[in-house]
Structure 1
Amino acid sequence: MRRIIAAGAALLTAGSLSLGWTIARRLTAPVGPRNFDLTIRDVEVDGDRRLLVLDRTRETAARGVYNLWFETGDWVRVSDEVLDRGSDQIARVVTDMANDFRASACDRFSWSGIYFANPADAGLSATDVSIDTGAGVAPAWLIEGEENCSTWAIHIHGLGSSRAGTLRGAQVATELGYTSVIVSYRNDGEGLRLDTGRSTLGLTESEDAEAAVAYAIQNGAERIVLFGWSMGAAIALRVASRARERGVFAGLVLDSPVLNWIDVIKANCARSGLPAAAGNLATPWLTFGPFARMVGLPSAIPLPEFDWVQRAEELTVPMLILHGARDDSAPISVSKALRARRPDLVQLESFGAGHTLAWNSDPARWRSTVSAWLAKHLVS
């Protein structure tokens, strides 16, 4: 009996180790191609309106404005209107498309909150610049602000996203006269590819964002606002806490922020159909050096350093958090906990949206909220 119990315990331990390794590998996996997992079921024409009939999912039936990215590289934007087409389908109204692209039935696409394909698409005039990170050169977009404005904004995208996703915030910064730098960072699919190409969840990526801060200061920035989306928020917080010139940071604008990786990993396990507690199995594979190297990481990731609820007393920069109440990737409960710990620094605005989709759910409110907060906290 003891041998049976011991054998069972060994199998359970081996299974737990394997699951933890798998979760850690998937979380830090190199950027892959976009997954075109949805299909146009039909196309309707109603006067001068063109409607796409789609399978009803939580994403496709969500109110707001979104972008459909196609296997051809084309895109189609849809309006806030959601029209029923039976219990299993809905229709969305097309508002714009790339190069007069016309989607057809059976076309495969990816649903996305990344609304603009590039700065010009967002109505912004940008220059391609290179940021010397010390590990190599990272491409970035530079959007010039008003001539006499010494405030700069640095926009940092999230894990698995792209620079284009931050253009939603860059529009607001530009309207306020700020100069914007929209950065790439190592292993994001646009910036440098180092080592195995795996993400270190903001640990080494923050070095590239720090280089962007140095670039801004060298070019005349006297005040800097960091815009961070999802993991980009974790990077922004790390940059603001580590910088020698801490006084230069005037504010943080964080959308769907990762404020505690442990909670995020648990939430994503639950989202994938695993017990949330399975997320704990990944922790040793990320935080213990020999295990982390077996995952393919260059070194261990000190996850406690990314727990900003526990580190709340260390915060010094005013912070606006915009977070979707339906976010099942980076739970809004963590943002609420941080606001409760630091109500003097943190303003939290909740939207009826999923992860990084607050802007899409209500662009006008998102923009006005950010503009008003910045006007209040960055009075010249």
Structure 2
Amino acid sequence: MASGRDRRRTVIVAGLAVLAVLVAATGFGAWYGSDQAVKVVRYGTSNTRVLAVRDDLVTLELTHESGKPGTYWLEWSGSYSMLGDVVSRAPGRVTREVLRGPIPSVGTPGYFGNVPPGDPQVAWGIGFSEIMVPTELGPAPAWYVPGTGGTWVVAVHGQNGRRKAELKILPVVHELALPFLDISYRNDEGAPPSPDGLLHLGASEWRDLEAALRQARTMGARRFILYGTSMGGQLVGQFLSRSPLANLVDRVILDAPMIDVRMTAEQSVRKYHLPAFMAALSDQVVQWRTGIDPDTLSLIRHPPAVRPPLLLIHTVPDAEHPIQEARDLAAAGGRLGWRIQFEPFAQGEHTEAWNVDRTRYDRLVRDFLSPAGGRPG
């Protein structure tokens, strides 16, 4: 029969084992959370399949992506189609209209996504050239679409994104005959890696944006309009805070931007149903792995030194960067005298405002980019 001392020892050992498991799980969760912020990721190429085609209609396997309302693209084997809104649904199936491009064959696996395919020529039939921007880490490719005048639109994509993500805005920019530069930055495909191989959430990457503007100036640019999506918004914010070229920026458009890294981490914790304290732990691991303090990457608590007129677009259901980030930035702008035009979209996931309401999105951008746009009345 076990003595009282033996029972106490058993309880202590069991308690220590449980504690060790909890510590290990917490550590794993914090590391996983930091990976979501700073790990470089390359994505696959298929998330649905073509089940049937008829005339200009295509029926896809129903997935979370393929069933979303709005305008999207299907890419497969080097081809693509622009697809319109949902025409009909059936169990496991969704039918959409083909707006542009070829009709895929039945059985084709494809990638259903919210960004245009390829390059400016492939996506919109707009001619371009590829230039190399000399950054501090080496040359980084950028797409250049010529226009008239000395004010250029420079586009910056988000975390683990690609240049093609910024092509949604190009038809309006091209219509207005503004030169367009769509840049890449460290850790992008074709661009040099960062020294540690990790993302720095804009704290280092803004220097590649600065390098792109310096290159544009050698090509005739005098003033700039910056367009940033997702983490690209934080790059723009850090550029406006730190770069001596910030005063050359006339206007800024941000779409679903990473405005406050701490709030983004808290959103990620909610998304994965983790305890709230994991957000602070993940931020601490990010700081340990990269040397940057995520708490300083808040355009709300640390607004940029240069604050041009800003068109701020954000979808309310965004599960990556919460709409509250945009609301708080708009409120901060009011206190600072920073002219922010905040435009929430009731539908759409992360960076999908254009997809769910292209007409409104294009109108907002067109008005803001017009000669009087973004300027005090």
Shorter-chain TM-score range: 0.7 to 0.9
User: Residue 65 and residue 263 in structure 1: after superposition, are their counterparts in 2 closer, same or farther (change >3 A)?
Assistant: same
Whichever residue aligns with residue 361 of structure 2, its letter is W
Quote the residue 1:162 is aligned against: 162
User: Residue 126 and residue 320 in structure 1: after superposition, are their counterparts in 2 closer, same or farther (change >3 A)?
Assistant: same
Deviations 1:212-257 (A, max 9, x none): 1111223332211110010111111111211113321111100110
Whichever residue aligns with residue 39 of structure 2, its letter is A
Matched, 1:309 2:313: no
Q: Is the 8 A contact 1:321 1:347 kept in 2?
A: yes
Q: Is the 8 A contact 2:156 2:166 kept in 1?
A: yes
Instruction: Give the TM-score normalised by structure 1.
Output: 0.87
Distance 1:132 1:313 in 2: 25
Q: Is the 8 A contact 2:57 2:95 kept in 1?
A: no
Compute the displacement of 1:101 (Å).
5.6
Quote the residue 2:28 is aligned against: 18
Deviations 1:76-115 (A, max 9, x none): 22112331214x4321122233xx462323x322221112
Q: Is the 8 A contact 1:323 1:350 kept in 2?
A: yes
Quote the residue 2:61 is aligned against: 54
Q: Is the 8 A contact 1:69 1:75 kept in 2?
A: yes
Distance 1:204 1:340 in 2: 27
Quote the residue 1:78 is aligned against: 83
Distance 1:372 1:359 in 2: 15
Distance 2:217 2:350 in 1: 32
Quote the residue 2:353 is aligned against: 358
Instruction: Give the TM-score normalised by structure 2.
Output: 0.88
User: Residue 28 and residue 372 in structure 1: after superposition, are their counterparts in 2 closer, same or farther (change >3 A)?
Assistant: same
Give the gaps of 5 or more residues in structure 1: 293-298
Q: How does 1:314-329 map to 2 (within 5 A)?
A: 314=305, 316-329=307-320
Quote the residue 1:137 is aligned against: 139
Runs of 4+ in structure 1 displaced over 6 angstroms? none
Quote the residue 1:370 is aligned against: 365
Give the gaps of 5 or more residues in structure 2: 1-10
Quote the residue 2:153 is aligned against: 153
Quote the residue 1:295 is aligned against: none
Cα RMSD of the aligned pairs, angstroms, is 2.3
Compute the displacement of 1:143 (Å).
1.1
Give the counterpart of 1:333 among 324, 327, 331: 324
Kindly tell me the number of residue pairs found equivalent between the two proteins. Answer: 360
Whichever residue aligns with residue 165 of structure 1, its letter is A
Distance 1:326 1:82 in 2: 23
Distance 2:105 2:343 in 1: 36
SS across alignment from 2:59 = strand
User: Residue 226 and residue 308 in structure 1: after superposition, are their counterparts in 2 closer, same or farther (change >3 A)?
Assistant: same
Deviations 1:111-159 (A, max 9, x none): 211124211132322111110002100111111111xx11011100111
Compute the displacement of 1:17 (Å).
1.6
Compute the displacement of 1:191 (Å).
1.6
Identical pairs, percent: 24
Q: How does 1:267-306 map to 2 (within 5 A)?
A: 267-275=267-275, 277-288=277-288, 292=289, 299-306=290-297
Distance 2:217 2:260 in 1: 29
Compute the displacement of 1:177 (Å).
2.4
